[in-house]
Structure 1
Amino acid sequence: MNENVMAIISQSVSTTVMNLLLFLFYRRIYEPKFQNKTVYIFTFIATTALFITINQISNFLSAPLINTIYSFVYFNLASVVLFKCKLKKTFMYNSLYFLFLVFIDVLSVAFWSVIKGENFQSILSNAQYLIISCITNILIMVLMWLIFISVLSKSELTIIKRNQIVLLGAFTAFAAFVEYNFAVRINNSKDGIIAICILLGFLFLSIFLVYFTGEIIKAYNAKYESELMQVQSKIQFEHYAEINQKYEESRRVIHDIKKHLSVLESLNAIESNKKAGEYREIIENEVDSLFSGFQCSNQILSIIMSQKIMVAESEDIKVNTEVEDIMFDFISDIDITAIFANLWDNAIEACRKVELSERFINIIIGRVNDFVVINFENVFDGVINEHDGKLLSTKEQHEGVGMSIIKSSVEKYKGTLVIDHDENIFKAKALIPLA
């Protein structure tokens, strides 16, 4: 097989890998504009083909500046058109990524220049050396990408990450060694085909390593998110448990006060003091009003509902409730807190972002056949932040943990959480089978 053809194939594979890693890089740091993955697949194929064409034209004209300018313009256009991003931040990231690729190009050629004792021009003008440089370029790109996503993750398992990096470094060195020994021996079509097969084999293995490492990172993140959810749920539960304790203490104190008032009334009755009796009645009514909030058979739910209704009404949110008295004894107190406190917090936070006259929260809780249905409906500003089908918080530096806690708690009891919304109405519906 002609060495020049091999060089073109190697450059094309290198360009394909570079574009793939670019898309994965953007996927990591930006939110996609389009939910349909076909858009990104088609765009990747089309831009890769165009990239390869531009690369060959620049080689034919001996004008590498064409490829350089096109690359930088393409990076910026792809990020702006396909992903939600801020221009300044995008320009900075793209500049870093561009310099990263230039560094790898120079490094891959320089490496073989040192090994062979040749200058840069000799390496670039020799088809065999160019093939080897492209292979080295691919392997270094994949290695650097894997290191990048490993560092990007919030995993604290640094020993495992070091081991991964060492393993990947050894893999890169071995792959470069194998490809080098085959590339320098290309004398006929059979040798060329074998070299291409080896190149594609290492390419597919590299892609698998990118995917596999990404899945490991997702698993790490899921683990830490789960731990975060448990900690937050525990904090919420302890908060409402403390409120419940204070509530019970207050009831005892108020009960004693009412006894004292009763004694006072008896003493005054002897003296036929009507004013004292009327005063006692006023005080007792005021005391009773302190406990006129939401009441149901589940004490924790009563506390949560009472407190959140009070918070909502203080912020001019109209609250409508239709609640069937259900014991919820098949759900632990900590999960009741996790479900209802977070549903309330999400609804109140959403209402804060709309006009006072439009604020409302409707709540329906009841039995339907063999299920408990918990339905929250509230107005919101129409802004939904989603990533990979997962709802995220619209507040900066928040990851939407509240909704994840609700979902996790509902699914613990073999239930389902359904999220729906239209232009300005957000609905969260939990269905939990009765135990």
Structure 2
Amino acid sequence: MNWLRIAQGVLCAVEVCGLYYIFNLFYEQKRNKLWERIGFIITLILFCGLTIFQREVGGMYSRYFMFLCIFLAVCIGKFFYNITFTRCLLVSTLYFESIYFSDIFLGYIGQALLDSIDFVDYIQFHINLERIIILGITRCFLLIVLFILRKYKIHVNNLCFNYRMLLIGFAVLEYLGLFSCEKVFIPAYREEGKIYVYFALFPIILVLTFIIVIVYIMYIEKKNEMQLMNSQNEMLEKNYHEMLLLYQKRDRIFHDMKNHLSVLSLLIADRNLDRAEEYIKKVNAPILELEHKKYTGNRIVDIILNDKIEKAHNNNIKFIINAHDIKEGIIQDIDWCAILANVLDNAIEACIKVQNDEKWIEMSISQNDCSTIINVTNIYNGEIKISKDKLESTKKNKILHGIGMESVKTAVNKYNGIFEYNWEADIFYIYISLFN
């Protein structure tokens, strides 16, 4: 009997540690002081002890203890991690509902296989091998899910952010199924066979709902991916086209340089220095116009920067740039287009809307052995629209212009990067970190 209690304690600890692991996997801890780390460990130990005690005294399943676990999880998540209340509640609810629903469903399966009407009472109120087997199966399944979450962390995080309402609906449906299926513990329902209706109905509904949600998400993601790819390809084509035109203009100027030198030689030979100086200015004007500065040494980055700087100057926007060497090949050209072109276009368009103040953009870009860092700061008119924790475009075609920011996020995620933004009264900040 003691080894059964030990096994149950280990499985309860796995259940609680799984929740902490999800928090650590997807969210950053607020602080990293010694007393907070000690408090973090103490809450973990107390949570495990409370769960073990409930399984010993209260039985395998308790909906009210599940509510208590969700409440404690939300408190722990909000205190120790940078996470919103809504997301913390959603993660905790889905986590414990799924575990408890799995426990009940496996209890029903055991009852059906053994053809014992009292099987669920046997595992509910007594520590026995059958209960350990059920808890062990659900916790093994939990470990598999945690492995999948770790492997596809970025994709899961994006899906949870973009389809939060679907997950909320699924959590509500899962609770209704849990509430109905727990009637398996009521002898009257078992004797009349009513419980078989619930266990045939709700698991099927949950599975079908899950399949529909997955298919819908795949359709939307594929549609967005095609839009992003078209947008990126158009931008890349535009930049390469501009580069081609630039080289053609330079070729024409260099082709005519022999004739220019001959004319200058004749003017200098005739001692006509004034006309020679005037001629030099005329020849130099188109050269200066085509001159593109090398900011980073990365060809595509410099093309984008020169193009956006020229666009800013044409709109009377002061553009200050602090750039360091950027190696080619680490970040793909199409991703440079998606990130730099979109971010700088948004900064320029924000500056254009400013009426009275001086218009300016500041940008820094650097690279080390581990990461590439991009910081962009610009003035704006103070109008920011936020919808569902996301920036909302103020333009008429919100879908089209929303693609730009989604394109940036998609490119950043390819490099397991960080994309953050913040704002003050009239200044907007963007921070991007790409891991090489």
TM-score normalised to structure 2 length: 0.51
Q: Is the 8 A contact 1:294 1:305 kept in 2?
A: no
Q: Let me know the Cα RMSD of the aligned residues.
A: 3.0
Matched AA of 1:310: E
Query: Which residue does 1:37 correspond to in 2?
Result: 86
* CA separation of 1:322 and 1:38: change in aligned 2, threshold 3 A: closer
- Helix, strand or coil: the match of 2:278? helix
* CA separation of 1:191 and 1:336: change in aligned 2, threshold 3 A: closer
Deviation at 1:205, TM superposition (A): 4.0
Q: Is the 8 A contact 2:189 2:195 kept in 1?
A: no
Matched AA of 1:385: I
Alignment of 1:295-306 (within 5 A): 295-296=294-295, 297-306=297-306
Query: Which residue does 1:143 correspond to in 2?
Result: none
Gaps (5+ residues) in structure 2? 1-83, 91-187
Query: Which residue does 1:333 correspond to in 2?
Result: 333
Matched AA of 1:294: K
| Farther-moved stretch of structure 1 (332-341 vs 227-236) | 332-341
State the alpha-carbon separation in 1 of the partners of residues 281 and 274 from structure 2. Answer: 11
State the alpha-carbon separation in 1 of the partners of residues 214 and 338 from structure 2. Answer: 28
State the alpha-carbon separation in 1 of the partners of residues 372 and 421 from structure 2. Answer: 16
Deviation at 1:405, TM superposition (A): 1.3
Query: Which residue does 1:268 correspond to in 2?
Result: 267
Query: Which residue does 1:110 correspond to in 2?
Result: none
Q: Is the 8 A contact 1:244 1:300 kept in 2?
A: no
TM superposition outliers: structure 1 runs of 4+ over 6 Å: 38-41
Query: Which residue does 1:98 correspond to in 2?
Result: none
- Helix, strand or coil: the match of 2:387? strand
* CA separation of 1:272 and 1:316: change in aligned 2, threshold 3 A: closer
* CA separation of 1:190 and 1:264: change in aligned 2, threshold 3 A: closer
Deviation at 1:432, TM superposition (A): 2.1
* CA separation of 1:38 and 1:413: change in aligned 2, threshold 3 A: closer
State the alpha-carbon separation in 2 of the partners of residues 220 and 326 from structure 1. Answer: 37
Q: Is the 8 A contact 2:298 2:328 kept in 1?
A: yes
Matched AA of 2:384: V
Matched AA of 2:378: N
Query: Which residue does 1:213 correspond to in 2?
Result: 212
Query: Which residue does 2:423 correspond to in 1?
Result: 421
Query: Which residue does 2:372 correspond to in 1?
Result: 372
Matched AA of 1:258: M
Alpha-carbon displacement from aligned partner over 1:105-128 (angstroms, at most 9, x marks no partner): xxxxxxxxxxxxxxxxxxxxxxxx
Deviation at 1:38, TM superposition (A): 8.3
Q: Is the 8 A contact 1:417 1:429 kept in 2?
A: yes
TM-score normalised to structure 1 length: 0.51
Structure with bigger gyration radius: 1
| Farther-moved stretch of structure 1 (311-320 vs 215-224) | 311-320
State the alpha-carbon separation in 2 of the partners of residues 407 and 299 from structure 1. Answer: 23
1:385 and 2:434 aligned: no
Deviation at 1:294, TM superposition (A): 3.4
Q: Is the 8 A contact 2:372 2:434 kept in 1?
A: yes
Paired residues in the alignment total 253
* CA separation of 1:38 and 1:249: change in aligned 2, threshold 3 A: closer
Identical positions, percent: 25
Matched AA of 2:430: A
Q: Is the 8 A contact 2:412 2:434 kept in 1?
A: yes
Q: Is the 8 A contact 1:385 1:394 kept in 2?
A: no
